[in-house]
Amino acid sequence: MTTWQSFLEKNRERYIEELFEFVRIPSVSAMKVHIPDVKRAGEWVVSRLESAGIEHVELMPTGGHPVVYGDWLHAGEDQPTILIYGHFDVQPPDPLDLWESPPFEPVMKNGRIYGRGASDDKGGMLTPIIAVEALLNTEGKLPVNVKFCFEGQEEIGSPQIPDFLEKHKEKFAADLVLSSDGLLWSADVPMMLTGLKGLASFEIHVTGPEQDLHSGLGGVVQNPLEALSRLIATMRHDDGQIAIEGFYDDVRDLTEEERHQFSESPYDEEAHKTQLGIKEFFGEPGFTNRERNWARPTLDINGMWGGYQGDGTKTVIPSKAYAKFTCRLVVDQHPDKIVELVRQHVAKHTPVGVTAVVVSSNDKGMPYLIPSDHPANNIVGQVLTEVFGTEPHFARVGGSIPITDSFRASLGAWTFNFGWTVMDENLHAPNEFVRVRNFERGQRAYCMILHRFKKE
Amino acid sequence: MTTWQSFLEKNRERYIEELFEFVRIPSVSAMKVHIPDVKRAGEWVVSRLESAGIEHVELMPTGGHPVVYGDWLHAGEDQPTILIYGHFDVQPPDPLDLWESPPFEPVMKNGRIYGRGASDDKGGMLTPIIAVEALLNTEGKLPVNVKFCFEGQEEIGSPQIPDFLEKHKEKFAADLVLSSDGLLWSADVPMMLTGLKGLASFEIHVTGPEQDLHSGLGGVVQNPLEALSRLIATMRHDDGQIAIEGFYDDVRDLTEEERHQFSESPYDEEAHKTQLGIKEFFGEPGFTNRERNWARPTLDINGMWGGYQGDGTKTVIPSKAYAKFTCRLVVDQHPDKIVELVRQHVAKHTPVGVTAVVVSSNDKGMPYLIPSDHPANNIVGQVLTEVFGTEPHFARVGGSIPITDSFRASLGAWTFNFGWTVMDENLHAPNEFVRVRNFERGQRAYCMILHRFKKE
């Protein structure tokens, strides 16, 4: 009997050719002119899933760019159901003149395939399809039940996906999610991504005099921009700790084990400074930079404005001042509670002579931390270690991945990072590429992990 | 012999008709389409000065709207020279639909003349012309030497006037200036305006990361908007006192007499709040509102901005933050020194992780306070008391009048408020009007004051 290993080996050239074919479809979700191409890419995925042996494949409408569903559910009720996620839309190719070869005419150079979407996420999402094809062709069945959810709107923020998943939660029901839209630590080192941050967002609006005043009338008037500045200054202690009462109350403290895991992942302080374009770090005292970014909540002003912004001088005392804020939250903080604490802080610290209101926003998300005792942690870690020949580094990210939030909210399933993209592969930039060796490691990794999830 | 009093009385109807004629010229300095009308108004002034008996009258080019000069210098070298100032340009008439009669078709109603410029400053500047005509026609000469400086660009900030006066300082040389572009305290109460504030202006530019960052990278980065807010918060104590070291060092303290003068001028706290559109006052402790506005230096943010100002949420840590400031200064503060003190303060208080630079501006002016022992104080006060039948209230203003600064700088002459406008006369608004009784009081006041300036 042929093994999936030799099947993959035998079909290498065809799979590379398929990735080329997939990349040639300019499925740019952000551009109206490419709406039919996004659909065409979805149709390509439908037929590719079908030719791999996946059943019930369909292109599902969402109100925006479509989703492709498919499943293979013959492993038995006692076996887990794994949902595999990816996306077939890509970023716009601009600026075109910086591409060394046309973005939708893929080329192979030095073991890399260049083209828009080669890495993010067409290369990524092709690997589980190839894997199930190899398993079905060599073993006649899959070790576990498998469903696919491939979307066409990831690069524009998946506007319809939360509602879509909520509506179809039974169809997509699964025990866990593997995301092919995922990252490696570096070209040959895998990564276990265990935590994402939540988000709270709000604005503060300060009103001073009812109308803009000539500053010649001043000396007796609280200036709303200054009042807002003073209010902002009360929100953090000089040492970097957020000073909003109760802000840290619900934060789950890092365990010694987590702090140890964090410290094991390589870190280069100077490279980090260069990446951020800063000369000095500034953050919450008592924590490493990594802990601050991965596991401590933050408060940031995203925008602030009021009064005159043009050239020269305008001697005005403005009537209004505004600031936009976001907080990145960690377990077990809740965005609604954070906004309420801000409201209380502002009520208590508003300077005399102005009014300040906190306006909450619907842009919010729950923090996300895969439980450390989740059984899949070990399985994912072992497969990555075997495929890459080295243990994965643990990581969290300071940002949020909305789809992960939706899978958790609608399906009750945790999402595991199981993709093959490296940060240096020019995602969202000219000359995007994927490393062929990782495209092929990915195929093997999916074959292996489906076997490991099988319950004996 | 006819007296100037009876001459004025006899020609009342004609002078009102002349004001009508003057107002009919739409000399809107801010509107390109009215450039010829501003010039036409200047020519009207030239011929009116000539018909009054003034000599060497000319329309002088400035590079922008012209200036009208004229003089009568036969009073002898031992007599003082009085420069009389006013302007023949007017504000735009918009919004036109709120005018009850067309702005450039003056009408008389209930002792008021309605029309754009009737009060500011066509009515005002006509009064000294009428006065010298009355004196020359009845006494054959003027008691003192008189020069006129009427400009056509006051309403657009007199951009060419400082250079023009500096260039022609010998021609305009005078012992003091009477400004027909001046205010009464109220419809029947005159005002002695003795002080104006100076101006220092600067910007603070704060730079954090070299480029905007996704806020998911945060927790380790000083946010430039927050840093600027914190920096601003250090610039004032909670109680309202400016905290920039040395800021008050050069401030000339109010004398007991000045504080008494201030307190004698009527003040209605509730009306002041309504005027400003505020619910509470806020300012430097230890001073009355009047003292704060008239005689204490101020620091105001005129504009502030950075990051995202659009709809919704953008999770960005901006690279830059900006704020514009002006300080209103009092004697003996100097704008350059104030900006230097700000620079030192910013250098000392810039939060970790960002750089901050203070960018100074050329928009600056010296504070202005007519010496309390200036002999004209008594003369102006006495004439106003006689004409209005009540003593003038003392006042300063929290703003600046640039031309006053220029007369002081180029001619070395102090400017006395000697105009007849009341704040309720819709200056710069629809339905501007002047009270005929003050138009006529003004004519008498100029006749009287020229006599009083005569040295026996």
pLDDT, tens digit (0-9, with 9 covering 90-100), for A105-152? 999 999 999 999 999 999 999 999 999 999 999 999 999 999 999 999
Q: What mean pLDDT do residues B136-165 have?
A: 95
Q: What is the CATH number of the domain that holds A218?
A: 3.30.70.360
- Let me know whether B50 and B181 are in one domain: yes
Task: Supply the pLDDT for residue B293.
Answer: 95
Residue B247 lies in a domain: yes
Q: How do residues A185-207 score in pLDDT, each as one tens digit?
A: 999 999 999 999 999 999 999 99
Q: How do residues A320-339 score in pLDDT, each as one tens digit?
A: 999 999 999 999 999 999 99
Residue A285 lies in a domain: no
Q: How do residues B125-141 score in pLDDT, each as one tens digit?
A: 999 999 999 999 999 99
* Cβ-defined contact of B313 to A302 (cutoff 8 Å): yes
For A289, name the nearest residue in chain B, comparing CA atoms only: B220
- Let me know whether B103 and B17 are in one domain: yes
Q: How do residues A393-430 score in pLDDT, each as one tens digit?
A: 999 988 878 789 899 999 999 999 999 999 999 988 99
The CA distance from A304 to the nearest CA of chain B, in Å, is: 5
Residue B381 lies in a domain: yes
- Let me know whether A352 and A442 are in one domain: no
The CA distance from A400 to the nearest CA of chain B, in Å, is: 7
With cut-offs at 50, 70 and 90, classify the pLDDT of residue A263. Answer: very high
Q: Give the rounded distance of the alpha carbon of B236 from its chain centre.
A: 28
For A308, name the nearest residue in chain B, comparing CA atoms only: B303
For A288, name the nearest residue in chain B, comparing CA atoms only: B220
In Å, what is the CA distance from B75 to each residue of A267, B48, B293?
89, 21, 41
Q: A259: exposed, middle or buried (C-beta count within 10 Å: 0-12, 13-18, 19+)?
A: middle
Residue B264 lies in a domain: no
A307 to chain B: which residues are within 8 Å by CB?
A: 301-304, 324
Residue A384 lies in a domain: yes
The CA distance from B448 to the nearest CA of chain A, in Å, is: 32
ipTM above 0.95, yes or no: no
Q: What mean pLDDT do residues B308-323 have?
A: 93
pTM for the model: 0.88
Residue A219 lies in a domain: yes
3-state secondary structure chain B: CCCHHHHHHHCHHHHHHHHHHHHCCCCECCCHHHHHHHHHHHHHHHHHHHHHCCEEEEEECCCCCCEEEEEECCCCCCCCEEEEEEECCECCCCCHHHCCCCCCCCEEECCEEECCCHHHHHHHHHHHHHHHHHHHHHHCCCCCEEEEEEECCHHHCCCCHHHHHHHCCCCCCCCEEEECCCECCECCECEEEEEECEEEEEEEEEECCCCCEEHHHCCCCCCHHHHHHHHHHCCECCCCCECCCCCCCCCCCCCHHHHHHHHHCCCCHHHHHHHHCCCCCCCCCCCCHHHHHHHCCEEEEEEEEEECCCCCCCCEECCEEEEEEEEEECCCCCHHHHHHHHHHHHHHHCCCCCEEEEEECCCCECCEECCCCCHHHHHHHHHHHHHHCCCCEEEECCCCCHHHHHHHHHHCCEEEECCCECCCCCCCCCCCEEEHHHHHHHHHHHHHHHHHHCCC
- Let me know whether B126 and B214 are in one domain: no
Q: How do residues B76-97 score in pLDDT, each as one tens digit?
A: 999 999 999 999 999 999 889 9
Task: Supply the pLDDT for residue A53.
Answer: 98
Task: Supply the pLDDT for residue B27.
Answer: 98
- Let me know whether A8 and A90 are in one domain: yes
CB atoms within 10 A of CB A278: 21
Q: How do residues A216-257 score in pLDDT, each as one tens digit?
A: 899 999 999 999 999 999 999 999 999 999 999 999 999 999
Asked whether the beta carbons of B72 and B129 are under 8 A apart, the reply is no
With cut-offs at 50, 70 and 90, classify the pLDDT of residue A92. Answer: very high
Q: Which of the listed residues B308, B341, B360 is the one where a domain comes to its end?
A: B360
Asked whether the beta carbons of B19 and B117 are under 8 A apart, the reply is no
Q: Give the rounded distance of the alpha carbon of A378 from its chain centre.
A: 22
Residue A174's domain comprises 4-196+368-453
For B278, name the nearest residue in chain A, comparing CA atoms only: A209
- Let me know whether A353 and A373 are in one domain: no
First to last CA, chain A: 22
Say which amino acid occupies B61: P
Specify the number of domains making up chain B. Answer: 2
Asked whether the beta carbons of B212 and B451 are under 8 A apart, the reply is no
- Let me know whether A172 and A312 are in one domain: no
Which among B419, B393, B392 has a CA at the least distance from the CA of B404? B419
Percent of chain B at pLDDT > 70 equals: 100
- Let me know whether B142 and B30 are in one domain: yes
Interface A-B, measured as beta-carbon pairs within 8 A, has a size of: 258
* Cβ-defined contact of B351 to A314 (cutoff 8 Å): no
The CA distance from A287 to the nearest CA of chain B, in Å, is: 10
* Cβ-defined contact of B218 to A298 (cutoff 8 Å): yes
For A320, name the nearest residue in chain B, comparing CA atoms only: B303
- Let me know whether A59 and A170 are in one domain: yes
- Let me know whether B59 and B108 are in one domain: yes
A324 to chain B: which residues are within 8 Å by CB?
A: 307-309, 313-314
Residue A276 lies in a domain: no
Mutate to test the interface with A, among B196, B229, B239, B311 (most CBs of A within 10 A): B229
The CA distance from A450 to the nearest CA of chain B, in Å, is: 32
Mutate to test the interface with B, among A210, A229, A314 (most CBs of B within 10 A): A229
- Let me know whether B180 and B318 are in one domain: no
Q: Which of the listed residues A320, A337, A360 is the one where a domain comes to its end?
A: A360
Written as six digits, the tokens of A376 are 């899949």
* Cβ-defined contact of B292 to A400 (cutoff 8 Å): no
pLDDT for residue A77 is more than 90? yes
Residues 6+ apart with CB under 8 A from B253: none
Task: Supply the pLDDT for residue B456.
Answer: 86
Q: Which of the listed residues B360, B380, B413 is the one where a domain comes to its end?
A: B360
A217, A232, A281 member nearest B229 (Cβ):
A232
- Let me know whether A236 and A171 are in one domain: no
pLDDT for residue B290 is more than 80? yes
**3 state SS of A154:** helix
Q: What is the CATH number of the domain that holds B417?
A: 3.40.630.10
Q: What mean pLDDT do residues A67-73 have?
A: 98
Mean pLDDT of chain A: 96
